Amino acid sequence: MTQRSSVSPRLLALVLALVLAVAGGAYFIGARSSNEQSQQTATESAQGEDGQASSDQSLPVLANPNIRQEVTPGTQGLDGPEPLADGSYDASIFGPKAPIKSAEDVRNVHRRNPQDPFAIGAVDAPVVIAEFSDFECPYCSQWSNNTEPALIKEYVDRGLVRIEWNDMPVNGPAAEAAAKAGRAAAAQGKFDAFRRAFYQSTAEISGHPNFTLEDYVRFAKQAGVPNIEQFRQQASDGTYDEVIEQAKRYGASIGIQGTPAFVVGEQYISGAQPLDVFMRAIDQELQKVQQQQ
């Protein structure tokens, strides 16, 4: 298990002062602070006629448009997470790699753990994206189906970006049940395949899917989970109840209240933003890495 964080409740405000904050397309619940209300206003002004978030054309132009070809890619762990000694995977992982106490610690949200079954991409990739998502969140589904595949092809497969999932089941019991199923798949090294099968099945669903255990079993079979009985047991018992609650508390402690939310290097992006918003942020972070080499 990764180290739990010691986090100031004011961290998000500090992070937003440090990074590029792009609000829009997020699925918020509960009461909002005055800062969140201002983000909602920004969301509404950024939406097009179809209600989808549009890109922020005020983002700075890259100083080096060839950065993806010039920065050194990562090579470690491209074949997937390292198994434990018994051949299983550590499905209890959550949280940051080190305590987060100030804005200067924002990169600690990136675990870079070679045994992390919730991550895809090279452990030593120049840029890491911390994703905070909820299986029941329709915007998370939208991002997974419409935006992430292009990022995987352009950055993850080339060793430039690593994406690390963080459970943030804010949409009630169904979200928590799905998170348990995700961890049951992760224990057998099939979290990403399970996640893709799950979200692909929600592509045509409007609102929350509210899947059942039998649906999770179906997705597990599609993902190639080898021991379905073990999956079924862990997806329905209390094996991962506590760690999921800890993961949710961790997200809340750094100010994550809506899903999906992302920390791209040092930049915070809120919501299912268009592809170009993510590409611009990633390329800016790649430039920072190159300048430090």
> How confident is the model over 62-107, as pLDDT tens digits?
667 799 999 999 999 999 999 999 999 999 999 999 999 888 899 9
Of the pLDDT bands very low, low, confident and very high (cuts 50, 70, 90), residue 58 is: very low
**184 assigned to some structural domain:** no
Q: What is the pLDDT of residue 61?
A: 58
**114 assigned to some structural domain:** yes
**192 assigned to some structural domain:** no
Question: Has residue 269 got a pLDDT over 80?
Answer: yes
Among 54-63, 161-170, 241-250, the minimum mean pLDDT is found in 54-63
Question: Has residue 206 got a pLDDT over 90?
Answer: no
**235 assigned to some structural domain:** no
Mean pLDDT over 99-125 rounds to 95
Of the pLDDT bands very low, low, confident and very high (cuts 50, 70, 90), residue 115 is: very high
**151 assigned to some structural domain:** yes
Q: What is the pLDDT of residue 13?
A: 41
Of the pLDDT bands very low, low, confident and very high (cuts 50, 70, 90), residue 51 is: very low
Decide if 22 contacts 271 (C-beta within 8 A).
yes
Q: What is the mean pLDDT of the chain?
A: 84
Between the alpha carbon of residue 34 and those of residues 13, 39, 232, 244, the distances in Å are: 11, 9, 43, 28
Here the CATH number for the domain that contains residue 160 is 3.40.30.10
Percent of the chain at pLDDT exceeding 70: 78
**213 assigned to some structural domain:** no
Decide if 243 contacts 205 (C-beta within 8 A).
no
Among 47-51, 188-192, 232-236, the minimum mean pLDDT is found in 47-51
Question: Has residue 243 got a pLDDT over 80?
Answer: yes
Domain span at 19 = 11-168+247-292
User: Which carries the bigger pLDDT value, residue 128 or residue 34?
Assistant: 128
Distance (Å, whole) CA 34 – CA 213 = 39
**224 assigned to some structural domain:** no
Q: What is the pLDDT of residue 64?
A: 74
Question: Has residue 4 got a pLDDT over 70?
Answer: no
Question: Has residue 209 got a pLDDT over 50?
Answer: yes
Q: What is the pLDDT of residue 63?
A: 60
Query: Cα–Cα–Cα angle for 180, 181, 182, nearest 5°?
Result: 90
The count of structural domains within the chain is: 1
**215 assigned to some structural domain:** no
